[in-house]
Structure 1
């Protein structure tokens, strides 16, 4: 998994490529979001999960907490239909501000 943060005028993109599967991957995502929010507290944070068809439960919990309790302006864009469907089946699309951005190739 790779992670790149891009700062724009009104928003910040956190681009995640590759599969999110380890504790270290989850920690890196959470730390990138925390750091971005500290440095740009009023910016919209767009978490772009480009390739992963899975997401760890700790990242899901962190995203829900960040949006609902910490009031971060956070949007999640998923590139794999399989991940979007999983989040939809769990009734998390609205809660986590999930949007489709299908670019992921089926393997």
Structure 2
């Protein structure tokens, strides 16, 4: 989108502004590429921010579940306890996935 905008502005400038018309083709291409790079960087930044937001939400849900389960067990949900709960949960999920894979192969 930004590349098209840059190219459109370059064409418009070439047709309407004599001093821009005198500029070299490499300089005009440089200006168009600046618009393109700005667009790419802007899009990448917004995609990264969306990804980080999803990660924060997912991590928050996991931590909430860990606090609830640890509290039910009578444990104080400290950072260490939550990390241990996560590791145990990952081992359990891996074991379940392995047993399901073995069952489906038979």
Is TM-score (shorter-chain normalized) higher than 0.5? no
- Between 1 and 2, higher relative CO (CA 8 Å, sep ≥ 6) is seen in 1
- The structure with the largest strand share of the pair is 1
Interval containing the TM-score (normalised by the shorter chain): under 0.3
Q: Tell me which structure has the larger Cα radius of gyration.
A: 2
Give the TM-score taking structure 1 as reference length. Answer: 0.26
